[in-house]
Each structure stands twice: as C-alpha cells, then as structure tokens.
Structure 1
Amino acid sequence: MSSLQFHSVLLEISNQLSGEQLKDLKYLCGDMIGKGKMEKITTGTQLFQVLTERTKLGPDKLDYLSQLLKEIKRPDLSNKLECFESQSGYTDNQPEQKERDKLDLATNVIVENVGRRWRKLGRSLNLSEVKLDSIARRHPDDLEETVRELLKEWRKSRGAEAQTQDLIKALRDCQFNLTADKVKEALEAANTEQD
C-alpha cells in the first residue's frame, strides 16, 4: 500500500473530525506533543504529521491513532484505519483466499465462545505477554473485540503461514475442546454448502 493511500486515509479522517473532536484528540496526545506545538495544531492532518514524526503513526503503526479515535467516540473513523490496515501490506503476506475464508469463519466462532480465558489461547498461539497486555488495554470492556483483536494479531504474526488447523490445535491445547468442535462443525458446514 503506497504512502499516498496512507495519507489519503488520514486526510479523509481529518476532514471528518469536528473542531471539538480535534480538541479532544490534542488533549489525549498532550503529554507526548507539548503545549507550544499543540497550540499551533489546527487540523487533523497537522496532528497526524506530529504523531508520524514521534513514530506513533505510520502505514504499519495504526493502533495508537485507532485507539484515540475510539476514545473520542469515533469508531467509524477507527474502522476506516482498520480497513486500510487490512488492505495494506498485511494482505500481501496472507494465506490463499480459501484459507482466509476458513480463518474468518473460525474467528467468528472463537470470538463467540472463548470468553475471559482468552489470554490462555493467546499464549498457546505464542503471542508475547506484552502483546496480550496491549490487546487488553485496547478493549478493556469488550471481551468479543479483545478476542477478535487477539486473532487478528496472531494472523498478522503468522502471515501466509496462518492455518485454521493451528487455531484448532491451540484451542485443544488450552482444553477449549467444545470451541474447537464448534469451529470444526462450522468449517464442515461451510464446506458442505460449497459442494
């Protein structure tokens, strides 16, 4: 994904921010930017430029801005960033479409069934404690989003190597056998529909 497309998404987000929302974003970034520089920022694009200079934002570093947008109650703009991320370089290093469809289906089943013991699954998928803490901070009150984020991070880390059978094995390793069975059933049902 080109730099132009990245900046185009940021411009689109900037254009949809109200003055009050920009003020709230600046407030949330206050400690990092400093008062003098903060007063000179009058647009979202100027703020995003500063975040880029501070290495908090980039085509492959969208989590910080995404979280800020959620904090100011603009999940729609956060979703724009996530859509950009899913279309960016991350898609160049993914399994084939058929496996991606299976992973998407497995993700939906796991999100509905894993619950509070999601960290156990994360460890079984070899995600670091730092990554798990970061995921927990991003979605403190939404368990389903936490599990979805966990699986997204795992898929990113595995790239083209991400396979549904690895998810099922990790579920079984955690003794989440009922969820593993539900994933298998959903995949078999989807397979039957395609035949």
Structure 2
Amino acid sequence: MNSSDFQAVLLKISDQLSSEELDKMKFLCQNVIGKKDLEKISTGSKLFQLLMERGKLGPDNTEYLSERLLNIQRHDLSDKLFGLDGPGDGGDRPNDTERAKLEVATQVIAENLGRSWRKLGRSLGVTEVKLESISKRHPTDLEETVVELLKEWRKSRGAEARATQLIEALRACQFNLTADKVEDKLKTSGH
C-alpha cells in the first residue's frame, strides 16, 4: 500500500467521524498527543497527522488507530484499515479450483471448530485487533464468527490463500479431527 492510498483511506475515515466521536478519539490519544496539541485538533485528518508524526500511525502501522476506533464502537472504520498491511492486500484471488477448495474447507471448519476459533486465527496470523473486531460483530454465532475469520484470512492472503494452509494451521492447533474432516470432504467433493 503506497502512502497516497493510505492517506485516502484515512481521509475517508476522518469524513465519517462525528464531532462527538472525534472528541472520544482525542481523549483516547492523550497519552501520545499532549492536551495542548489536542485542543487545536478539529478534524480526524489532523489527529491522524499528529499520530503519524509521533510514529503511532503509518501504512504498515495501523494497529494503534484501529484499537482506538474499536474503543469508540466504530468497527466499520477500523475494518477500513485492514487489508492495508496484508501481503495480498485482498486484491488478488486464488484460481477457481483453489477457491472451490477454500469454500469447502470454510464450510467444514465453520461447522466443527466452535469456541477455539481464536486459536486458529492466531495460527493463521490474524491480528488480535482483528480477532476482537470479529468477536464483537458476531458475539453469539460461532459459525458466523469462524466464517468471518476465514474470510478475513483469505482477504489478507489474496491469491496466496490455499486450503492446505488451513489444514496445516488446524493440525498446528491440534484440531486434527477437524483437519481430517476437511481432507475427507475435499476428497469426496472431487477436490
């Protein structure tokens, strides 16, 4: 992600912050930006500029801002930051055969994984901030939570996403029964 694309995303986020939300963001950033500087801030873009100057925000450093957006319940704006720091940037997609395998794997994993979905997420390299965002979006539906987790992983991996990587991650987490079920379903479905 180049800096002009990153700044365009920040501008979109800034435009969608209400003045009350901006005040909450400023409050949450007091430990990084002094009160005197915070008093001068009237827009999200000015806040983001100060965060960049203080090394808390950049194209490859979005976690601090993302956490603050989650704190003010703006999961939608936090999500805009994701895909900025993944290797695939979500732009590329696997070929049709691999996509079909990933769909089968996602279905089986969602049906079988349950409460240990965070462990799999960490094994796949999904950030804690993203795991928290997914958890808040689907607090009671574990299947939807797992589908969302795997969708985010696939987006971050882009064309590099493979069903075999999911199976390896399941085995690394000692979810061997689920891994076996994925492999069996892939064989019976002709993949």
Query: Normalised by the size of structure 1, how large is the TM-score?
Result: 0.67
Question: Post-superposition shift, 1:94?
Answer: 6.5
For the aligned residue pairs, the C-alpha RMSD in angstroms reads: 4.1
Seen in structure 2, the aligned counterparts of structure 1 residues 161 and 34 have a Cα distance that, compared at 3 Å, is same
Which residue of structure 2 aligns with residue 169 of structure 1? 168
Which residue of structure 1 aligns with residue 12 of structure 2? 12
Mapped contact 1:172–1:180 kept (Cα < 8 A): no
Amino acid at match of 2:74: R
Identity of aligned residues (%): 41
Mapped contact 2:94–2:160 kept (Cα < 8 A): no
Question: Post-superposition shift, 1:113?
Answer: 3.7
Mapped contact 2:118–2:131 kept (Cα < 8 A): no
1:61 aligned onto 2:61: yes
Question: Post-superposition shift, 1:183?
Answer: 7.0
Segment drifting more, 37-46 vs 168-177: 168-177
Seen in structure 2, the aligned counterparts of structure 1 residues 55 and 137 have a Cα distance that, compared at 3 Å, is farther
CA distance in 2 between counterparts of 1:187 and 1:69 reads: 43
Mapped contact 1:106–1:187 kept (Cα < 8 A): no
Flag structure 1 segments of 5+ consecutive residues without an equivalent. Answer: none
Amino acid at match of 2:109: I
Greater share of residues in helix: 1
Seen in structure 2, the aligned counterparts of structure 1 residues 80 and 159 have a Cα distance that, compared at 3 Å, is closer
Which residue of structure 1 aligns with residue 50 of structure 2? 50
Question: Post-superposition shift, 1:43?
Answer: 0.9
Mapped contact 2:22–2:44 kept (Cα < 8 A): yes
Seen in structure 2, the aligned counterparts of structure 1 residues 78 and 179 have a Cα distance that, compared at 3 Å, is same
CA distance in 2 between counterparts of 1:132 and 1:138 reads: 10
Seen in structure 2, the aligned counterparts of structure 1 residues 90 and 56 have a Cα distance that, compared at 3 Å, is farther
Flag structure 2 segments of 5+ consecutive residues without an equivalent. Answer: none
1:148 aligned onto 2:146: no
Seen in structure 2, the aligned counterparts of structure 1 residues 33 and 111 have a Cα distance that, compared at 3 Å, is farther
Query: Normalised by the size of structure 2, how large is the TM-score?
Result: 0.68
Mapped contact 2:124–2:169 kept (Cα < 8 A): no
Mapped contact 1:132–1:150 kept (Cα < 8 A): no
Amino acid at match of 1:79: D
Question: Post-superposition shift, 1:163?
Answer: 2.6
Seen in structure 2, the aligned counterparts of structure 1 residues 104 and 31 have a Cα distance that, compared at 3 Å, is farther
Amino acid at match of 1:171: L
Equivalent positions of 1:100-139 (< 5 A) are 102-103=101-102, 106-107=105-106, 109-111=108-110, 113-118=112-117, 120-121=119-120, 125=123
Seen in structure 2, the aligned counterparts of structure 1 residues 24 and 134 have a Cα distance that, compared at 3 Å, is closer
CA distance in 1 between counterparts of 2:38 and 2:47 reads: 8
Q: Aligned residue pairs: how many?
A: 183
Q: Deviations over 1:115-157 (max 9, x none)?
A: 333455467x486xxx876666666764737x828973x985x
Equivalent positions of 1:91-102 (< 5 A) are 91=89, 96-98=94-96, 99=98, 102=101
Which residue of structure 2 aligns with residue 34 of structure 1? 34
Amino acid at match of 1:148: L
